[in-house]
Amino acid sequence: MFDGLKDKLDSFRSDVEESADAEADVEAEAEVEAEADVDADSDVEADTDADSDVEADTDAESSTESASSDADEDGPGRLQRAKAFATGKVVLEEEDLEDPLWNLEMALLESDVEMGVAEAILDDLRSNLIGETKSQMASTGDLVADALRDALLDVISVGQFDFEERIAEAEKPVTIVFTGVNGVGKTTTIAKMARYLEDRGYSSVLANGDTYRAGANEQIREHAEALGKRLIAHEQGGDPAAVIYDGVEYAEANDVDVVLGDTAGRLHTSSDLMAQLEKIDRVVDPDLTIFVDEAVAGQDAVERAKQFDDAAEIDGAVLTKADADSQGGAAISVAYVTGKPVLFLGTGQGYDDLDRFDPEELVADLVG
């Protein structure tokens, strides 16, 4: 999963390592040459008399002043690196990162990472790497990997909360409404959530608030029957808010733990349907509103998440088809852009193919 993005991050690590190590090799050669010059000067000085020693001392002072002047002309970065190398360490400078960071930015954008997110990752990397000193025994690649982990976690972990803890602590029944555009796997995700909750000891009822689409009742009913769940549904054209409200009343009367409410798939540009979503939010006042979209939709999914959050504030997201997404742009971007976390990844068509989204686990997989 997200193998394409993983390869791009690995390329960045290799680019920085090659750039920094090439510069270190140049400085190592310069250091060896300097030591050879010092040895040669020492041999000459050993053959001279006391008067020559005085002259040599004068010449040495002049040479030292000249060397210091040359180092100053190279700038503080070069002087810092030379001093670090003399003590057995290497300093990463801006020139080591310039080309690798540019390549990484292009790679992130090609992976459908939202531009503001890509810039945040690059800024974090610059602050964590430029001027960083490492011992020669350490690996530049390891240093870069640590910086990548920190930068990625900063953008992926935004708003993260423990979904199971939220369900456990909430007053029952817990009402969860699912939103999103047509055809992204929203209804199937609801069925997967019913199984996920059942595996953790929670009962659930399904409420079909998708009263616009012909065949919507039949689709969700097939899932309900396969899972042994009760379905609350009205006729096509009914009030979606009323359907989900009825689901809540059924749950209260029958000690059901969770109400899973479906809604009509809608484009974020459809003002009438978005207004209906706002009504559901007012009438039902759900405990959680979860946005569903495809991981493979990339930046489109990120933009839609923002629009749905504006219409009826979402609490988190589920990204379907994550197993088919090699880029990972949506998974990287949604939380940072909306301030709301990715909670689950859909990884197949089976009812058990719903995986809790763990930012640390994902970053560990991406960076290695």
Q: Is 263 annotated as belonging to a binding site?
A: yes
Structural element, H or E, at residue 318: strand 316-320
- Residue 261 pairs in a beta bridge with 177, 207
Q: Please check if 187 is assigned to a binding site.
A: yes
In this structure, the strands spanning 354-356 and 342-346 are antiparallel
Residue 279 counted as an annotated binding residue: no
User: 368 CB contacts (<8 Å, ≥6 apart)?
Assistant: 6, 10, 145
2 near 355, Cβ under 8 Å?
no
Ligand-binding annotation for 181, yes or no, is yes
Task: Confirm whether residue 103 is marked as ligand binding.
Answer: no
Is 25 known as a binding-site position?
A: no
243 annotated ligand-binding residue = no
Rounded-to-integer distance, Cα 5 and Cα 3, Å: 5
- 338 annotated to a ligand binding site: no
Separation of CA 50 from chain center: 69
Q: Is 205 marked as binding a ligand?
A: no
Q: How far apart are CA 283 and CA 288, in angstroms?
A: 14
- Round to whole Å and give the CA distance between 188 and 192: 6
CB 118 within 8 A of CB 108: yes
265 marked ligand binding residue? yes
323 is in an annotated binding site: yes
Residue 182, annotated ligand binder?
A: yes
Residue 216: both structure tokens together: 């919507």
Instruction: Confirm whether residue 298 is marked as ligand binding.
Output: no
Residues 282/244, Cβ–Cβ less than 8 Å: no
CA distance 31 to 28: 5
Contact 317, 341 (CB under 8 A): yes
Tell me if 343 sits within 8 A of 317, measured CB to CB. yes
Q: Which residues are annotated as a binding site for GTP?
A: 180-187, 262-266, 320-323
Q: Which residues are annotated as a binding site?
A: 180-187, 262-266, 320-323
